[in-house]
Amino acid sequence: MKVTSLWITAIALCLTACSKQEPAEPPAPEPEQAAAPAEEAEAEFDAEFISHMHEHAEKLDDLMFALADDDLVGAATPAYWMSQHEAVDGVPEEWQHYLTGMRNAAYEVETANDLETARAAAEEISVQCQACHAAAGVSVFE
């Protein structure tokens, strides 16, 4: 009888343990699959357009680094470029309001009299850039 009880207990424990397993998570996408949407979106634009957008990112980095260093004057230079530079051809009409929003926020950084105002405007630049990327189907984090 003891062996039978032992087997019944063992089977009951196994069934209990199996019933409490968490469902398996779906496998992560292959790196090639994750990069495909960004590559497809970038394929729609020529090299000049993509280079220009990268220049936007570099200027925003310069601006943010200056603000992180409490350098209001240093932030004004890249902000001026972002608010005044020549636009590149190829920006679809439905994305123009993001460009206008980015330029307006950059102008606010450029003309800010204090770091708090400049930082708030710089965050708005980021919001406009991210919204445009979302509209374009481009992820900068892939």
Q: What local confidence, expressed as pLDDT, does residue 82 receive?
A: 94
122 in Cβ contact with 105 (< 8 Å): yes
| Residue 101, C-beta contacts closer than 8 angstroms, at least 6 positions apart | 124, 127, 128, 131
Written as tens digits, the pLDDT of the chain (142 aa) is: 554 554 555 555 554 544 444 544 555 555 554 444 444 444 467 788 888 888 999 999 999 999 999 999 999 999 999 999 888 877 888 888 999 999 999 999 999 999 999 999 999 999 999 998 888 888 765 5
63/50 Cα distance (integer angstroms): 20
Q: Count how many Cα atoms sit within 13 Å of the Cα of residue 3 in the half-sphere of its side chain.
A: 0
How many Cβ atoms sit within 10 Å of the Cβ of residue 13?
Answer: 10
- Closest among 122, 65, 74, 129 to 97, alpha carbons compared: 129
Query: Domain spanning 46-142 has what CATH number?
Result: 1.20.120
CA distances to 33, 98, 124, 126 from 101, in Å: 32, 5, 8, 10
Question: Which pTM value belongs to this model?
Answer: 0.65
